[in-house]
Amino acid sequence: RRDLNRCFPGSAKGSLAGRVAHIFLNEIVKHCDYGIDLHTGAIHRSNLPQIRADMSDPDTKALAEVFGVPVVLNSNLVDGSLRESAVKNETKILLYEAGEALRFDEFSIRAGMKGILNVLQHLGMTRKVVRSKKKRMPFIANGSQWVRANASGIVHNIVNLGDQITKGQVLAEIGSPYGAIFDSVKATRSGILIGKQNIPLVQEGEAMFHVAYFSEDDEEIAGHIENVQEQLLPENDDS
């Protein structure tokens, strides 16, 4: 039950998670030029398909853009993470966040598979496929924030992943089993919803909605996310 992504670089004689991190780093990562770290959201939390990367590094920025998901979060290195240890080894790492723990999510799987193939083609590891359509550059978020519960109770969510969020908008209502509304959870800033908790019960102070902030038009971003989802879902697959 430890978070392996906070145990790097690990130790040969540490905890079980630390030993796994140590072996993985030394026997695999240190022999790699590039890597894609695949993540879901935590238990009872789901993420919109997104890439998190250090966009100040030109090579990593190019990989993030090639991957092809609509949203890229310019993310600093986190202490104890695989990305932090990999960068010290000069290994370029993308972190792909999508879906929910313990659940299959068709959109997240398809977006991830397509992104991995795009990176492999970009690096010359697989044959490039000629595409007629011009590739759309991802929207880069330079900040994000979790909106927290202001009461405890039963949750009625009003928004979905990928939705455009405006400041002051009601994201959810928290109430009693008998229908009384204790309080409304409102957005503190405008942006795009990239993560949310799914459990129908919440305690005051818990993180509920993850909103990313962009310099571009939020409505355009939300529309692009919807288009990508329509293209990747099975009923719209022409292959």
Of the candidates 208, 191, 211, 190, the one whose C-alpha atom is nearest the C-alpha of residue 199 is 208
The 10s digit of each residue's pLDDT in 91-115 is 999 999 999 999 999 999 999 999 9
Of the candidates 162, 164, 163, 209, the one whose C-alpha atom is nearest the C-alpha of residue 184 is 209
pLDDT on residue 132: 59
Q: pLDDT > 90: what percent of the chain?
A: 87
Question: pLDDT at residue 135 above 90?
Answer: no
The 10s digit of each residue's pLDDT in 166-175 is 999 999 999 9
Tokens of 141: 């978020």
Read out DSSP for 126-154? SPPPP-SSPPPPPEEESEEEEEE-SS-EE
Give how far the C-alpha of residue 197 lies from the chain's centroid of Cα atoms, to the nearest Å. 13
How many angstroms separate the CA atoms of 99 and 107, rounded? Answer: 8
Terminal CA-CA length for the chain: 40
Helix axes 106-122, 218-232, angle to 10 degrees: 90
**DSSP secondary-structure letter at 216?**
S
How many angstroms separate the CA atoms of 122 and 128, rounded? Answer: 8
